[in-house]
Structure 1
Amino acid sequence: MTRPISGRTPRHLESADDNAFPGDPAKLAAAICDTTRDPNPPLRLALGPGTYSAIHAARTDRLTALQAQRDLAESVAFTH
C-alpha cells in the first residue's frame, strides 16, 4: 500500500476521489503527450474543464492588484 509523504500532498487532493476529474482521461493523456513534442512547450499546462478560466481569473486579480501599486512602485526611484 502506498501513502503520500506527509506534508507533500496538497490537502485538497488528500481526500480527492480518484474518479473526481471531470475530464476525459484519454484526452488528458493525449494533450500531455502532444505537449511533450512541442518545440516550445508551456511552462505550465492548464488542462481540465474550467481550469483556464480559474487561472485566468486569479491572474487577472493579481495583475489588477499590481497595477494599483504602479505609482507607488515608481515613486521610490532615485531622482537626478
Structure 2
Amino acid sequence: MRERTQAGLNSAPARGHNRGRPKGLSEHYQLIAPDVREMYEKKQCSTNEIRKIFGIKSQPTLYRILQFAGVAVNGF
C-alpha cells in the first residue's frame, strides 16, 4: 500500500496535480487591487476602513493585495 501511495504522489505532478494550497491572490483581489492601491496612496481612509469597504477579512491579506499592486509596504 505504501509503495502505491508513493507512486501516485510521484506521478501526480506529471498529470498537472500539485499538492498543497495554491499560491497567490484570488481573481477578486486581483481585480480590486488598483482601487485599493489608489485609496491607500491617497490616504483617504485607514487600512481598517479600506478592508471594510472592499470586504477584505485580514490585515495581512490587505498588505498582500498592496504588494501585488506594486506598493512598497513598510514593515511587511
- So what's the TM-score if we normalise by structure 2? 0.27
- So what's the TM-score if we normalise by structure 1? 0.26
Whose helix fraction is larger, Structure 1's or Structure 2's? 2
User: Of the two, which has the highest radius of gyration?
Assistant: 1
